[in-house]
Amino acid sequence: MVRAGWLLGVLSLVAVSVVAEARVSGTVPLVIRLEGHRGAALPGDRGIADLTFRHGEETIAFRVREIWVLAGDAAGVDVLHEVEPYTPSMSIDGPPAVLERLLAAKPDQMLELTGYFRRGQRILMLSGVEPKKSPPAP
């Protein structure tokens, strides 16, 4: 009985260590949302970062106005600091219909991109690309 309790304690420590290592090493994806538009800065644009996405052979410029981490152990600025030094900043993939909405967007069209970001590998798996809704008039 004592041996079973000791074994259970050791297994619990191993499980906690594995989960902690996954969080630190970046193997647990973050759910992020990016708000911005394709292309270069527009007049009066208050972007916080210029990213480039790679999809196949295509490179897509994206001007970020806001970034949120919806799930995971990081802040939006952590994601930007990780990817900004690289060109392309990250690779993107996702369902064809979602990718098509990004590829077909006009440079002045504000978008909200949602997806799973894998840290360390700089991969964004898009789950949503939607036009940014304008705030209601007062």
Report in angstroms the alpha-carbon separations of 17 from 21, 52, 121, 132: 6, 35, 22, 41
Res. 134 pLDDT band, cuts 50 70 90: low
Least confident of 23-27, 37-41, 109-113: 23-27
pLDDT of res. 16? 47
In a domain, 64, yes or no: yes
Q: What does the pLDDT average to over 14-32?
A: 62
Counting residues of the chain whose pLDDT is more than 70, the rounded percentage is: 78
Q: Which helix (H) or strand (E) holds 63?
A: strand 58-71
Whether residue 101 has pLDDT greater than 70: yes
Res. 45 pLDDT band, cuts 50 70 90: confident
pLDDT of res. 11? 47
Closest CA to 107 of 45, 54, 49: 45
**CA–CA dist 41, 127 (Å, integer):** 25
In a domain, 8, yes or no: no
In a domain, 36, yes or no: yes
In a domain, 42, yes or no: yes
What range does the domain containing 59 cover? Answer: 29-131
Least confident of 45-49, 61-65, 87-91: 45-49
In a domain, 50, yes or no: yes
- For the chain, the straight-line distance linking the first and the last C-alpha, in angstroms and rounded, comes to 69
Q: What is the mean pLDDT of the chain?
A: 85
In a domain, 48, yes or no: yes
In a domain, 23, yes or no: no
Res. 43 pLDDT band, cuts 50 70 90: confident
Res. 31 pLDDT band, cuts 50 70 90: very high
136 compared with 134, residue with greater pLDDT: 134
Domains held by the chain: number: 1
In a domain, 100, yes or no: yes
